[in-house]
Structure 1
Amino acid sequence: MSLCSLVMASGVAYFDDVRVSLEVADTPINEDNIESAEHLGEQIQHSSKSSVVVAGNVRELLECPVCLNAMYPPIHQCSNGHTICSGCKPRVHNRCPTCRHELGNIRCLALEKIAASLELPCKYESFGCIGIYPYYCKLKHEAQCMYRPYNCPYAGSECTVVGDIPYLVNHLKDDHKVDMHNGSTFNHRYVKANPHEVENATWMLTVFSCFGQYFCLHFEAFQIGMAPVYIAFLRFMGDDSEAKNYSYSLEVGSNGRKMTWQGVPRSIRDSHRKVRDSYDGLIIQRNIALFFSGGDRKELKLRVTGRIWREQ
């Protein structure tokens, strides 16, 4: 019997099957729970059941009253029938947030059954995704959807703006006043009056337009352990699969010496902090940076040159 037949059937046989396939410990949603739900959704996807048009009130039934996110198995309920997701159950100290009755370990198998029959549009539909997905596959798709918006790549602020690439480019230019340059080569000069104040270093970002794409050049001071350093790296304004089509090089030096770096730009899907803390870029120790700066070694004067190219 197909899963869809089970969904439409009634009686003990269905609930026994659901208990076997979905029963997990009373813990917050984790990867195991999601994988179990995805497996069930994949079975539905291969069935011949047509898409279900979901009314707004049905979607509301599947919304956790605490976190307001969609609920996935195990879905819990109190003795009065109020539901809550497994992630929020321990947060409310096993008390129903609606009626304050004890939650216990009651599963809402009926609601799980309804969820298993649903097919929903991606939540990024407004960004261009036209896919319709079984309820239990939807979460995995949305985590990887190519239409999901990007976070603002500007570092050094708590900017919460999200959007597609054209929107973010205009946002960086208009709201963050970043430097915009055309071309695949660059020659930047970074000056700081007191380079010893590493923790107060200014965040710097430059956006380059070349090959029909946009790239973000970061340069900043931070510390590796107790050692003050500077780092320069490039991020690609797009997904990682596209970023791998490009390479870049950075060079800094003076007095007959130079340091070079060659790498692949990281996607802005990876946060600025994640890239920086992985040391994936040109790292310059402060004493070397001051040596390159010349003079009395009390002022940072670094010239960073670079090039971006497309791999064949």
Structure 2
Amino acid sequence: MELDNIECVSSSDGMQDEEIDSHHPHQSSSKTHVIPSGIAPATSVHELLECPVCTNFMYPPIHQCHNGHTLCSTCKTRVHNRCPTCRQELGDIRCLALEKVAESLELPCKYYSLGCPEIFPYYSKVKHEAVCNFRPYNCPYAGSECSVTGDIPFLVAHLRDDHKVDMHTGCTFNHRYVKSSPREVENATWMLTVFHCFGQYFCLHFEAFQLGMTPVYMAFLRFMGDETEVRSYSYSLEVGANGRKLIWEGTPRSIRDSHRKVRDSHDGLIIQRNMALFFSGGDGKELKLRVTGRIWKEQQNPDAGVCIPTLCS
């Protein structure tokens, strides 16, 4: 689908419609704490446990050559079973002594510089890091495989400056999607707007794809933060015309979930093509969809013991 064929118009919180460019993973009782090199000089044990090829910490099986040089199991395959230090054949020798030493260590999370205060037994660290709340986020931009990572403020600036995504302040929105030749529906995705409300950022997405044999359009919202934070927010989407209306209400998905994962779970407002054409006037010549929505925060009422929706001002 050619992006030039889609015109997207947005307004937010009373703002006038404006053009949006569509280009637009048995512990010892005695533990040794290893402090990050950024805090104190690295210990010799710390250095011994670094793979000389990838420089990551080594986990069993730790391999060694006949001369005692070690490397991790992943890099053993990369170097074609040749020691990267002395070029001798590696064979299948395990460095059991170094593996035993590793059991006695405790190490900080590798995201300590981003704020994580946790220290873990050596063999538990990797499992924690896969779900650490301080780990960087992937760029949430849809429609390209962007490899940029960072914290939320960095990614907001990246989306604005590098991907030219529109930024809006407020918790209501109004988008119009216009497409010529609507009979042609190919897989396509756009990240139309980043909204700032309640001191948080939300991404609005729009997708066109085949759901089985049926061409559909889909709109959904993602939250720029973790799953634990998003639970207090809700949003609604509405599309309609000619006396008919479709309404979706749900909880935004965290950007920890890719836009493709959200799309494939159908967690959003889905509009079948015939209904989209009906909303567009029924002549089948042009697709014109106006999707409106709002974001609110559920707050606990301490007197009544119930949650009440709060709109941003």
TM normalised by structure 2 equals 0.77
Structure (1/2) with the larger helix percentage:
1
| Equivalent residue in structure 1 for 2:96, among 109, 112, 115 | 109
SS at match of 2:210: strand
- 1:219 matched residue in structure 2: 206
SS at match of 2:247: strand
Q: Give the Cα separation in 1 of the matches to 2:280 and 2:234.
A: 27
State the Cα distance separating 1:217 from its structure 2 match. Answer: 0.8
State the Cα distance separating 1:298 from its structure 2 match. Answer: 2.1
- 2:235 matched residue in structure 1: 248
Q: 1:310 to 1:156 in 2, by over 3 A?
A: same
State the Cα distance separating 1:233 from its structure 2 match. Answer: 0.7
| Equivalent residue in structure 2 for 1:83, among 55, 70, 92 | 70
- 1:288 matched residue in structure 2: 275
State the Cα distance separating 1:62 from its structure 2 match. Answer: 2.1
Matched, 1:188 2:193: no
Mark the runs of 5 or more structure 1 residues left unpaired by the alignment.
1-30, 32-39
- 1:161 matched residue in structure 2: 148
Mark the runs of 5 or more structure 2 residues left unpaired by the alignment.
1-24, 36-40, 299-306, 308-313
- 1:210 matched residue in structure 2: 197
Q: Give the Cα separation in 2 of the matches to 1:48 and 1:110.
A: 16
Q: 1:79 to 1:95 in 2, by over 3 A?
A: same
Which deviations, in whole Å up to 9, do the C-alpha atoms of 1:186-233 show, x marking residues without a partner?
221111223334337462321111122111110121222343211111
8 Å Cα contact 2:238-2:291 kept in structure 1? yes
State the Cα distance separating 1:234 from its structure 2 match. Answer: 0.7
Q: Give the Cα separation in 2 of the matches to 1:200 and 1:293.
A: 20
Q: Give the Cα separation in 1 of the matches to 2:31 and 2:188.
A: 59
State the Cα distance separating 1:137 from its structure 2 match. Answer: 2.0
- 2:7 matched residue in structure 1: none
State the Cα distance separating 1:88 from its structure 2 match. Answer: 3.9
- 1:22 matched residue in structure 2: none
Q: Give the Cα separation in 1 of the matches to 2:118 and 2:134.
A: 11
- 1:122 matched residue in structure 2: 109
8 Å Cα contact 2:221-2:253 kept in structure 1? yes
Give the % identical residues: 78
- 2:284 matched residue in structure 1: 297
| Equivalent residue in structure 1 for 2:33, among 17, 26, 51 | 51
Which deviations, in whole Å up to 9, do the C-alpha atoms of 1:143-194 show, x marking residues without a partner?
1222111111111122222111112112212222212222222221111223
Which deviations, in whole Å up to 9, do the C-alpha atoms of 1:59-101 show, x marking residues without a partner?
4432334444321112122222232323344555544444454
- The amino acid that maps onto 2:136 is P
SS at match of 2:178: strand
- 2:245 matched residue in structure 1: 258
- The amino acid that maps onto 1:86 is S
8 Å Cα contact 1:154-1:205 kept in structure 2? no
Matched, 1:309 2:296: yes
State the Cα distance separating 1:302 from its structure 2 match. Answer: 0.3
- 2:57 matched residue in structure 1: 70
Matched, 1:274 2:261: yes
8 Å Cα contact 2:187-2:210 kept in structure 1? no
After TM superposition, the structure 1 stretch with the greater mean CA deviation from structure 2, 222-231 or 207-216, is 222-231
TM normalised by structure 1 equals 0.78
SS at match of 2:58: coil
CA RMSD of aligned residues (A): 2.4
After TM superposition, the structure 1 stretch with the greater mean CA deviation from structure 2, 301-310 or 49-58, is 49-58
8 Å Cα contact 1:250-1:306 kept in structure 2? yes
